[in-house]
Amino acid sequence: MFDQLKKLESRYDELEQLLGQNEIISDKEQYARLVKEYSGLKEAVLLFREYKKVAVEAEGMETVLSEKHDADFLDLAKKELESLMQKKQELEGRLKKELAGEDKDLGRDIIVEIRQGTGGLEAGLFAADLYRMYTQYATNKKWDTEVMASHESELGGLKEVVFSVKGRDAYKRFKFESGVHRVQRVPSTEAQGRIHTSTATVAIMIEPKEVDLVIEPKDLRIDTYRASGPGGQHMQKSDSAVRITHIPTGVVVACQDERSQLKNKNKAMRILGARLLDKKEQEEAKKNAAARKSQVGSGDRSEKIRTYNFPDRRVTDHRINLSLYRLEAILDGDLEELSDALIKASEEKAKENE
């Protein structure tokens, strides 16, 4: 662990020097990338430096205790050493957590994909409710969101929506949202007042960096066509919509929300990269039984993870058997209590499997 921390500290110092150079400052893209890397290392490096400082103080106090002094002084020195050793142990625990497997992704940007499931038009309306819930939560956390692709259904619902979320701890807070979400309510289209059950599927994907995977141009087929439907009405005169097919895997992404073909292509490539990285990680997770055991839930996208019951004003997360009777607040983006409970359950399960 400490060898790794020394390397991180060395890189942190290197970045500090680079960020002061005029040629780096003038290159906005490179500067932003290095600033982000610098910020990502800061917490671990500052903790490591504090740990080293406390370790030196403790070592000095042990030296003092080995020398002959009066009883009162020795008593004070022993108490001071105990305090330093306790602080050292706490810092070591925080450093281990900072370097833990999950923490490596905490600063990553994510892409959220919501699709209507079973239930027809009602499922599309529920997908739109989930989209509003997540974007409101992101707003509450002061995270940035950007719609990347969307396909509307009738009555203001969504067949599918893909959007990015950028902000500290976004992945940490969103990672447990993947799976099937179920709603139980009386649809506006139901004349008899009967309760219907509908579903929507949520996928949380990390937006890949260049080092995560390489997409070869020869593996892509890129088609352009005229956009149509909501968001495309201003683009009928040009082929601004883009469809990208990744030939080796068959993954297809289409974007038409932007008026610019280039912007649609860039968004489609970002979504494609996220889906390919997610596919790769899902396959690796299936091979790693230990990883599945340490998860809250199976991690399978087909797993029913949560029910939103309107008659009872109840939201139940089935993975941790938690029911909260504040459905309206949750759908308005107040996800903190749910998120905290899922993070805590995940940490406890990880400890059980250590």
pLDDT in tens, 213-223: 678 889 999 99
Instruction: Tell me, yes or no, whether 149 and 203 share the same domain.
Output: yes
- Distance between CA atoms of residues 104 and 213, nearest Å: 16
Task: Locate 100 and state its tokens.
Answer: 């833990």
Q: Is residue 304 part of a domain?
A: yes
If asked whether residues 56 and 84 sit together in one domain, one would say: yes
CA pair distance 133, 177, nearest whole angstrom? 12
Instruction: Tell me if 245 is assigned to some domain.
Output: yes
* Residue 288: pLDDT over 70: no
Q: Are residues 140 and 52 in the same domain?
A: no
What sign has the CA pseudo-torsion 312, 318, 321, 326? Answer: negative
For residues 79 and 344, the model is more confident at 344
The predicted model scores a pTM of: 0.66
Could you give the CA distance from residue 256 to residue 267 in angstroms, rounded to a whole number? 10
Regarding whether 85 and 112 lie in a shared domain, the answer is: no
Write down the pLDDT at residue 318: 96
Q: Are strands 179-185 and 304-309 parallel, antiparallel or unpaired?
A: parallel
The total of other beta-carbon atoms located within 10 Å of residue 224's CB is 15
The pLDDT of residue 353 is 60
Residue type at position 126? F
Q: Which two tokens stand for residue 274?
A: 């996220």
290 within some domain? no
The pLDDT, as a whole number, for residue 232 is 45
Please state, in angstroms and rounded to a whole number, the distance separating the CA atoms of residues 155 and 272. 29
Residue 324 structural domain: 108-207+296-352
Question: What pLDDT, in 10s, does the model give residues 84-109?
Answer: 888 888 888 888 777 764 455 666 78
**In-domain check, residue 37:** yes
Indicate the SS3 state at residue 56.
Answer: helix
Q: Of the ranges 56-65, 208-217, 275-284, 318-327, which one carries the lowest mean pLDDT score?
A: 208-217
Distance CA 6, CA 122 (A): 55
Q: Mark whether 95 and 112 lie in a shared domain.
A: no
Number of domains in the chain: 3
CA–CA gap between residue 153 and residue 348 (Å, rounded): 41
Looking at residue 320, which CATH number applies to its domain?
3.30.70.1660
Rounded Cα gap, residues 157 and 189, in angstroms: 13
24 with 93, same domain? yes
Residue 212 lies in a domain: no
